[in-house]
Structure formats: C-alpha cells, structure tokens
Amino acid sequence: LITALMVFINFILQTTLLQMFAIRGVLPNTALIIAVSYALLRGSREGAFVGIGAGLLQDIFFGGTLGVYAVLAVLFGRSQRDFYRENYLLPVLFCSIAACLCEGAVYIVGFVFQGMGNLLYFLFQVMLPVMVYTAVITVPIYRILFGVNDWLELKEKYKYRLF
C-alpha cells in the first residue's frame, strides 16, 4: 500500500509540480528512479511491480513504450544482493544507465520507426541532459526511498512478534 501510494504521488508530482523544474525542456525521470531504486533496495520482483505500476501510469496517460520500466527494474534488481545499500554511487550509476536505455527505447520507437531519426540531435539535446538530470535527482529520491525501505523492513520484522 505504501509503495503504491508512493508511485501514485510520484506520478502526480511528475506531471504537475516537476514541470516547473524543467531545464531546457528536460525533466528527470522520477518514475524510473523509483523503479530502479526499489529494485536495488527490495529485489527485482518488487522493483518489477513498481516498474509495471509506474510504467502503466505513464503509458495510459501519455503513451510511450510499454514495459520498459519493468524490464529495467528487473535487470538492475538482479544485482541488489551485491552492494551496500548505503552507497549512493551504484543507484546513481544504474539510474543514469536506465535513463539512457529508456530514452534509447523512446528514440527507437518514437523516431526511427517513423523515419525521423537525427541521432546526434537526440543524443546531445535529449538523452545526455536526461541522464545528467536523472543522476542529480537520484540522490535525494534514493535517500527518501532508503528511509522508507528501512521503516518497511522494521515493520515486517516485528509484524509477528508479540510484545
């Protein structure tokens, strides 16, 4: 319930408030950050569910590439056992790579299949700024998700314990 609420609040914020923070028309992909961060913190299964939820919200309202968030969350969630969650470098790196892959899928589906493929323009004007902006925004969002994850794990740990 908490995770679904976070995905819904993220969708509302991403489509309304974060539009004011666009730099040259580029926005960070916070849904992707949440999906990859949940995959790193809770495992690929929960990351995939978050990715499916966030991706379906995006696709239902704005169209796009169906299933990219879930695939990227599963892909990056496979390495969740091999790193320290307190380390912020890996989530920043994975979210940047995921943003690159997601924008590459949007480029292929949206432009190449329609015969309008100017790769250099897309690379330098869209993909690279989205990667950098997503990497910068990943740190505060990951910190919030890390705190929520600790709280959820504590609740799960003492769920069946009698005091």
Residue range 76-109, pLDDT digits in tens = 766 656 677 778 888 899 889 888 888 887 787 7
The reported pLDDT for the residue numbered 142 is 92
Q: Are 91 and 138 contacting, i.e. CB atoms less than 8 angstroms apart?
A: yes
Please answer whether residues 110 and 52 qualify as being in contact, where contact means their C-beta atoms are separated by less than 8 angstroms: no
pLDDT digits (tens, 9 = 90+) for 124-143: 888 899 999 999 999 999 99
pLDDT of residue 162: 55
Most confident range (mean pLDDT) of 7-11, 24-28, 152-156 is 7-11
Which residues have C-beta within 8 Å of that of residue 89, sequence separation ≥ 6?
A: none
Using a 10 angstrom Cβ sphere, with 0-12 exposed, 13-18 middle and 19 or more buried, the burial of residue 128 is middle
**Could you give phi then psi for residue 137, rounded to 5 degrees?**
-75, -20
